[in-house]
């Protein structure tokens, strides 16, 4: 096997041989050696790579308009960025998602890939940095400290849009089931004890409503991360950048990305502040908590089937046991529960990392980014999986549900307005002690006539507010 062809690149540490077929350069190579942490490259998050390419393109255009970057270099940088935005060369973004250096390795990876692809388009060899340089030209007017957080915010915005869409798919699935089960009477429960009747449709409607509320909260959080610090350069003073650069590059990035971005009014504050990421993570945790509660409900409602609640059946997806024949487990709700626990843990990581920032910069944004992107991606996948492989296939055990209502002591609550709390409590106590029917005990005690009782006990009377009509004297 012939030896691998290499090219020599130089940085402040010295010379290194870089694989000749690599679009990345010496800075990326050293990062690969320094951070063998997760074996997960940043390319696993395509929204991040897309965001970086948008930023580099916007910077090149802005620098050209300000007379700082010539037209030829600008043209080829833009072409390379557009290719990356379309999905090309993502395999060249190889640095680990967990890295020291406040994201410098990620920024340099982007600079080198875009630079070497632009050199190729110019008809030059990769590594010919005298013609086009990854720092002097591709990174002009920039610092990792404004590029990286801006890329994170833009990538999060892209990701949140996909998550909200997935949540809408799940919301519609629950809403469809709510309509299907609108006439299915069942017992509601509080503290896992029989409460009062409701419909299964009402129960499923609450899951749809919760998702709709969280979609709104996510859109609000995404709106807050539109504020960026691009143009801040190293610490927010804008050193090495043109006075008009920050405003101009924000406009160009908005046009390129399709996201209406805003330059932070205080770039020094914006460069060190991770509050937007903390808030977004908190909303993601809210989504996770409520989604997990919903999945726990589905597991409870489908428990048994013979010795549990057995109110609904989840679609059977796989054999549930290597030893117990016929066992089928609620594997889809279980996996979504686990996603939720991960998101909650990610939020703790983000909280600590954001708090640990010192003075003018937070060095721990890479772990913030990794945690956020995991939460967004896994929640999105979880919502789609839950919708398609579970919720759409749920069926109701109608006869069992009605039987439990008819045999429940909880229906005595509906009689409170007519016979009073004391009488209702006495009826409930007798029914519990004897196993007798509430219906029969009320009649035997002469508390209501059969006609009056039948009217009050109709399903439509039991599951929604009704005007209280006095009983006949």
Structure confidence by residue, pLDDT tens digits, 200-228: 999 999 999 999 999 999 999 998 899 99
In 45-94, DSSP assigns E strands to none
Phi, psi of 43 (to 5 degrees): -65, -15
Q: Are 21 and 88 in contact (CB under 8 A)?
A: no
Distances (CA, A) of 358 to 97, 105, 200, 273, 365: 21, 20, 52, 10, 12
Q: Residue 184 corresponds to which tokens in the numbers above?
A: 């299915």
141-160 mean pLDDT = 96
Per-residue model confidence (pLDDT) at position 9: 87
Residue 285: is its pLDDT beyond 60? yes
Q: Decide the pairing of beta strands 185-190 and 193-199.
A: antiparallel
* Phi, psi (rounded to 5 degrees) for 243: -55, -30
Structural domains present in the chain = 6-140 (1.10.275.10), 146-398 (1.20.200.10), 407-462 (1.10.40.30)
Is 57 in contact with 63 (CB distance < 8 Å)? no
pTM for this structure?
0.90
pLDDT bin (cut points 50, 70, 90) of residue 453 is confident
| Angstrom distances, CA of residue 376 to CA of 108, 162, 165, 395 | 25, 9, 12, 30
- For the chain, what is the mean pLDDT? 92
Q: From CA 68, how far away is CA 71, in angstroms rounded?
A: 10
Q: How far apart are CA 336 and CA 326, in angstroms?
A: 23
Q: Which two tokens stand for residue 428?
A: 């409930």
State the Cα–Cα distance between residues 473 and 468, nearest whole angstrom.
15
Residue 326 pLDDT:
66
CA angle 451, 452, 455 (to 5 degrees): 85
Please state which of the ranges 70-79, 211-220, 316-325, 348-357 shows the lowest mean pLDDT.
316-325
Start-end of H helices in 302-358: 331-355
**How many Å apart are CA 86 and CA 92, to the nearest integer?**
14
**Predicted confidence band of residue 77 (pLDDT cuts 50, 70, 90):** very high
- Give dist(CA 163, CA 383) in Å, integer: 8
**Bridging pattern class, strands 185-190 and 262-263:** unpaired
240-270 per-position pLDDT tens digit: 999 999 999 999 999 999 999 999 999 999 9
From the list 407, 418, 403, 415, the residue with the least C-alpha distance to 462 is: 415
User: How far is residue 317's CA from residue 328's CA, in Å, rounded to a whole number?
Assistant: 8
The predicted pLDDT at position 428 comes to 86
Answer yes or no: are the C-beta atoms of 344 and 293 closer than 8 Å.
no
Q: What is the spatial distance between Cα 362 and Cα 462, in angstroms, rounded to a whole number?
A: 57
Residue 469 has pLDDT above 90, yes or no: no
Alpha-carbon span 349 to 434, nearest angstrom: 55
**Rounded Cα distance, 448 and 450, in Å:** 7
The rounded distance, in Å, linking the Cα atoms of 269 and 266 is: 5
For range 51-71, the mean pLDDT: 98
Q: Is residue 274 a contact partner of residue 357, using CB atoms and an 8 Å limit?
A: yes
- What angle, rounded to 10 degrees, do the helices at 275-301 and 331-355 form? 160
Q: What is the pLDDT of residue 300?
A: 95
Which of these ranges, 15-24, 117-126, 136-145, 323-332, has the smallest mean pLDDT?
323-332
**Which pLDDT score, from 0 to 100, does residue 395 have?**
94
| Bridge pairing between strands 6-11 and 14-19 | antiparallel
Question: What is the set of active-site residues?
Answer: 321
Least Cα distance to 162 among 266, 45, 275, 52 occurs for 45
Position 456 confidence tier, pLDDT thresholds 50, 70, 90: confident
The stretch 76-95 carries a mean pLDDT of 97
Mean pLDDT of 91-110: 95
pLDDT band at 304 (very low <50, low <70, confident <90, very high): confident
**Could you report the per-residue pLDDT of 394-443, keeping only the tens digit for each?**
999 999 998 888 777 777 888 888 888 899 899 889 988 888 888 889 89
| CA-closest candidate to residue 451, choices 472, 436, 434 | 472
pLDDT tops 60 at residue 322: no
Does 460 have pLDDT greater than 70? no
Q: What is the pLDDT of residue 97?
A: 95
CA angle 216, 218, 223 (to 5 degrees): 100
Which pLDDT band, with edges at 50, 70 and 90, does 196 fall under? confident
Q: Residue 287's Cα: distance from chain center in Å?
A: 8
What would the mean pLDDT of 285-304 be, rounded to a whole number? 96
- The pLDDT of residue 291 is above 90: yes
Contact 77, 57 (CB under 8 A): yes
């Amino acid at each position: 096997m012939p030896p691998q062809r290499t090219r020599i690149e130089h940085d402040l540490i010295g010379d290194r041989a870089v694989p000749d077929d690599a679009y990345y350069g010496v800075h990326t190579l050293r990062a690969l050696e320094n951070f063998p942490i997760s074996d997960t490259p940043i390319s696993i998050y395509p929204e991040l790579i897309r965001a970086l390419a948008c930023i580099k393109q916007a910077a090149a255009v802005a620098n050209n308009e300000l007379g700082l970057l010539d037209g030829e270099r600008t043209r080829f940088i833009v072409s390379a960025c557009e290719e990356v935005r379309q999905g090309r060369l993502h395999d060249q973004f190889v640095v680990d998602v967990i890295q020291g250096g406040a994201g410098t390795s990620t920024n340099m990876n982007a600079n080198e890939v875009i630079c070497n692809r632009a050199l190729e388009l110019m008809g030059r060899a990769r590594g010919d940095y005298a013609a086009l340089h990854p720092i002097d030209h591709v990174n002009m007017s920039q610092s990792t400290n404004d590029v990286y957080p801006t890329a994170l915010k833009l990538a999060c915005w892209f990701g949140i849009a996909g998550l909200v869409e997935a949540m809408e798919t799940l919301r519609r699935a629950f809403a469809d089931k709510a309509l299907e089960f609108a006439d299915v009477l069942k017992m509601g429960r509080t503290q896992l004890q029989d409460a009062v009747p409701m419909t299964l449709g009402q129960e499923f409607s609450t899951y749809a409503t919760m998702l709709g509320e969280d979609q709104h909260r996510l859109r609000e959080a995404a709106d807050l991360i539109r504020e960026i610090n691009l143009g801040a350069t190293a610490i927010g003073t804008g050193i090495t950048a043109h006075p008009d650069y920050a405003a101009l590059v924000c406009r160009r990035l908005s046009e390129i990305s399709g996201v209406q971005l805003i330059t932070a009014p205080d770039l020094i504050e914006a460069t060190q502040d991770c509050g937007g990421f903390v808030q977004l993570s908190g909303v993601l945790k809210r989504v996770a908590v409520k989604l997990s509660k919903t999945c726990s409900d589905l597991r409870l409602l489908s428990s048994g089937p013979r010795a549990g609640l057995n109110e609904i059946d989840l679609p059977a997806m796989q054999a549930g046991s290597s030893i117990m024949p016929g066992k089928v487990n609620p594997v889809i709700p279980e996996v979504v529960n686990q996603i939720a626990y991960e998101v909650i843990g990610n939020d703790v990581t983000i909280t600590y990392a954001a708090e640990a920032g010192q003075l003018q910069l937070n060095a721990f944004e890479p772990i913030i980014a990794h945690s956020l992107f995991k939460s967004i991606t896994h929640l999105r996948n979880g919502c789609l999986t839950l919708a398609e492989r579970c919720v759409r296939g749920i069926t109701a055990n109608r006869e069992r549900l009605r039987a439990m209502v008819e045999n429940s002591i909880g229906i005595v609550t509906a009689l409170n307005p007519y016979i009073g709390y004391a009488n209702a409590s006495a009826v409930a106590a007798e029914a519990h002690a004897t196993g007798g029917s509430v219906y029969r005990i009320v009649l035997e005690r002469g508390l209501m006539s059969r006609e009056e009782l039948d009217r009050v006990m109709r399903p439509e009377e039991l599951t929604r507010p009704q005007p209280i009509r006095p009983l006949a004297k």
